[in-house]
Structure 1
Amino acid sequence: MRLPGRLAAAIEVLADVKQRKRPVSEALKSWGLNNRFAGAGDRAAIGNLVYDALRRRASHAFAMGSDSPRALVLGVAMRDWGETPAALDAAFAEDNHAPAALSPEEAAGATADLGGASPVVQSDFPDWLAPSLQRAFGADWVAEGQAMAGRPSLDLRANALKAAPEKVMKSLARFSPQPAAIAPFGVTMPAGPRDARTPNVTTDEGYLKGWFEVQDQGSQIVAALAGAREGDQVLDLCAGAGGKTLALAATMGNKGQIFAYDSDRSRLAPIYDRLKRNGVRNAQVRAPHPGALDDLVGKLDRVVVDAPCTGTGTWRRRPDTKWKLTPELLAQRQAEQAALLVEAARYLKSGGTLVYITCSILPEENDDQVAAFLASTPGFSSVDITSAWRQALITEIPPGLATPGGGICLTPHRTGTDGFYCHLLRKA
């Protein structure tokens, strides 16, 4: 497929998403199944167009004068991918599968100035979140939004139980990997432009042998901040597919014990194969059933709560969720987080550490939750995050990461990672 056909396909997929209100990943998969002539490169390019359109939906709609699927995709082609109106018109005229020719108004969108747009449009954030984001980031909130609207890198964590980062990079040399900027076992491959394909590293020999896992550098950092040590007794209370369980096991050198639990059996299902492939021997999976964790009450050194949240920190990877978030969903997540913090506290022994993590950048899910927990739960206090960072990551904490409430907030703008929050609480 040439560019005109790819643009037409992206418009079709976005229209499907809008009409049927289903996830972008499902719409792209459905299009691929119905158009088997499209090769891997075509599918990658169409996916890039669709995701780029959603990442900058507000600013592209302002520039193009419309938020229709056609306007957004053409906006990506001209404003992000560097195509000129003249080049598109010429290409469209020669391709039977091309969209209709550009109108004068659409052509003008290629060079439209966003200077007259509101800060919310320039940041590509939902407008109702502006007060929250201003509170979180102050004068930097627009820059934070613009960074969140970019493409994410592909990050890997070298599994210290089996391989060093150098071994992983040698195995993946054909993809030009680089050491991560902060995470000590991190390896990264920056996102490419236009129709660049994301490397399929899960077919690599190193992955199949358990040398590395796909994990955003931000996730690696907050897992390291948990401070798990050899011999510790640790509960991963919201283990999901086990990404942080694997990272904790590597940090602990397979010594001590990790109890991996999740209330959703389907989320927990992939963990068994991952533990085996990674060579993890100190993790015990606890399937959800009444009383599954009763024997752990008051006995653990650390409890990690990777809490369910709005996922605002992952908007680069899942931009469709940015525009679906509602105040009602935020309130629901806040209630779940508050209950999990109370639940987690039960399992700690005296002197134990509660590690509260979200992949959110909203203070309502982060500092506010911790402040409410501390106000209602005697005997807990915040651990100095600067000292914890220095001990876990053997570097000084970058400026601006510490939050007013005593946690840290990672973002694409500040750290080049997904958005993550982490706060450490010690039981007296």
Structure 2
Amino acid sequence: MTLRRASSRRGAPHAREVASDEAKRPTPGQLAHVAMLLAEVLAFTQPADVLLSRYFRTHPGLGARDRHVIAETVFGILRHLRFLEYMSGSRAPRPLLLAYFHRIQGMSLRGLAPLLNAGEAEQVAAMRAGSSEQAPLAVRADLPDWVVERLRTVLDEATILALGRAMQQPAPLDLRVNTLKASREDVRARLAAQGLAVTPTPFSPVGLRLVGKPAIQHHPLFTAGVIEVQDEGSQLTGFLLAPTRHERVADFCAGAGGKTLLLGALMHSQGRLYAFDVSAARLAKLRPRLARSGLSNVYPQLITDERDARLKRLTGKFDRVLVDAPCSGLGTLRRNPDLKWRQTPDSVAELTAKQARILAAASRLLKPAGRLVYATCSILPEENESIVENFLAQHPEFQLIPANQVLARQHIALDTGAYLELSPALHATDGFFAAVLERTP
């Protein structure tokens, strides 16, 4: 990372630097709020977005501009935490803040001066002199050591570095068009006519990508169920499952139903689509989305676990099953940068055991010649390829169907090989994995 040097030319360059610093510089009050919030967030006991929402509720006097600055600063620090800690030599809120505004936001020492306490100018100068080029790969990629070691088993150093740096960038806002209500081109034209910069997603035929972060949840197209917020990678899992009209389909870990709604639209609201989940709270979030969508073929089902007696009665009854398995979420670090510090090798070990159980249970729902898609938003091989390979070794009645062939049959020009493996560095999506499995006839 390089710093912009002060120009020796007169007038305008210095004026532009001062103006730039003033635009970036938070107020002392905003800085104080960030420091208080960081002290909570850096304990990593709860998700950062939960803590942020709670903090804003308990500080109702904060204006929209204040909330924006505070949120962007907190998440910016989380995205670059390993680097900032390396440069500042501390994980305390105040040094991290100064390192963030100096080394990430590019503020000069002169521009930071109004915010500095006694002795802090020397700290900032030391940060300016430091370089991360010789730092360990984990620091440059801004990932925990144990994550980098797992990635080294399948990726080279340059790929890990590119992945880590892509994860440090905020995610774009992807939308899925509900094709029961409108075409992608019609929605794109309507959004563009309202001044929103929007482009078709390169791979998903029902996706749109917005520039910036407009409050789309209040847009008439959203409230009418014409669009939903959904990452393009998540959309592609529906096209791997490729359900058709009149089939019986299960979304085995439905959660709040983003993929359920996509599957229902691909089925043209025909057939029967079961949305299973162990959380009543998550399924409750599906119901208003379902009402907006216009779908009439979705049946939310609360289950106790993958051994629920109701599932046993459905053995061999389904044409297609989606298993969007609970996972570490390490593919979503652009959106949830604190996850890399809240997950541990032990928590991943617990997840992989659960993933194997869920995949085995879900597979029993399939008819002969039925299709199952196993998916995660993880970048770790033990949650992805290893789960699938172990399952196939124990279930010879299943075979792997190359994901690139499934997508090609639907005219989706994306080839990542036998598995769908998406990376923010290559595809501008979340880190995503999916495998297509079919039961022999």
Which TM-score applies when normalising by structure 2?
0.88
Distance in 2 (CA, whole Å) between partners of 1:312 and 1:353 is 26
2:169 aligned with 1:150, yes or no? yes
Structure 2 partner of 1:262? 277
2:224 aligned with 1:209, yes or no? yes
Distance in 2 (CA, whole Å) between partners of 1:165 and 1:111 is 50
Amino acid corresponding to residue 324 of structure 2 in structure 1: D
Conserved in 2, the CA contact under 8 Å of 1:92 and 1:101? no
Distance in 2 (CA, whole Å) between partners of 1:100 and 1:49 is 23
Distance in 1 (CA, whole Å) between partners of 2:405 and 2:129 is 48
Structure 1 residues 38 and 174, CA, compared in 2 at 3 Å: closer, same or farther?
farther
Distance in 2 (CA, whole Å) between partners of 1:418 and 1:19 is 25
Shift of 1:20: 7.8
Shift of 1:373: 0.3
Structure 2 partner of 1:169? 188
Structure 1 partner of 2:361? 343
Structure 2 partner of 1:245? 260
Which residue among 172, 177, 201 is the counterpart of 1:180?
201
SS at match of 2:338: helix
Taking only the aligned residue pairs, the percentage that are identical comes to 36
Which runs of structure 2 are paired with 1:110-149 in the superposition (5 Å)? 110=128, 112-139=130-157, 140-149=159-168
SS at match of 2:328: coil
Structure 1 residues 12 and 412, CA, compared in 2 at 3 Å: closer, same or farther?
same
Conserved in 2, the CA contact under 8 Å of 1:152 and 1:190? no
2:423 aligned with 1:411, yes or no? yes
2:94 aligned with 1:92, yes or no? no
Q: Which moved more, 1:300-309 or 1:23-32?
A: 23-32
Count the aligned residue pairs: 410
Structure 1 residues 39 and 127, CA, compared in 2 at 3 Å: closer, same or farther?
same
2:319 aligned with 1:304, yes or no? no
Distance in 2 (CA, whole Å) between partners of 1:101 and 1:152 is 37
Q: Which moved more, 1:32-41 or 1:204-213?
A: 32-41
SS at match of 2:358: helix
Conserved in 1, the CA contact under 8 Å of 2:176 and 2:235? yes
Distance in 1 (CA, whole Å) between partners of 2:249 and 2:344 is 34
Larger radius of gyration: 2
Structure 1 residues 309 and 377, CA, compared in 2 at 3 Å: closer, same or farther?
same
Amino acid corresponding to residue 181 of structure 1 in structure 2: P
Which TM-score applies when normalising by structure 1?
0.91
Shift of 1:71: 2.1
Which residue among 36, 42, 63 is the counterpart of 1:12?
36
Which residue among 406, 410, 413 is the counterpart of 1:396?
413
Shift of 1:110: 4.1
Conserved in 2, the CA contact under 8 Å of 1:156 and 1:213? yes
Conserved in 2, the CA contact under 8 Å of 1:162 and 1:211? yes
Q: Which moved more, 1:129-138 or 1:257-266?
A: 129-138
Shift of 1:170: 4.0
Shift of 1:114: 1.2
Structure 2 partner of 1:21? 45
After superposition, the C-alpha distances for 1:340-391 in whole angstroms (9 at most, x for unaligned) are 1110111111101111001101000000000100111121110022111212
Shift of 1:207: 0.6
Unaligned 5+ residue runs, structure 1?
A: 94-98, 192-197
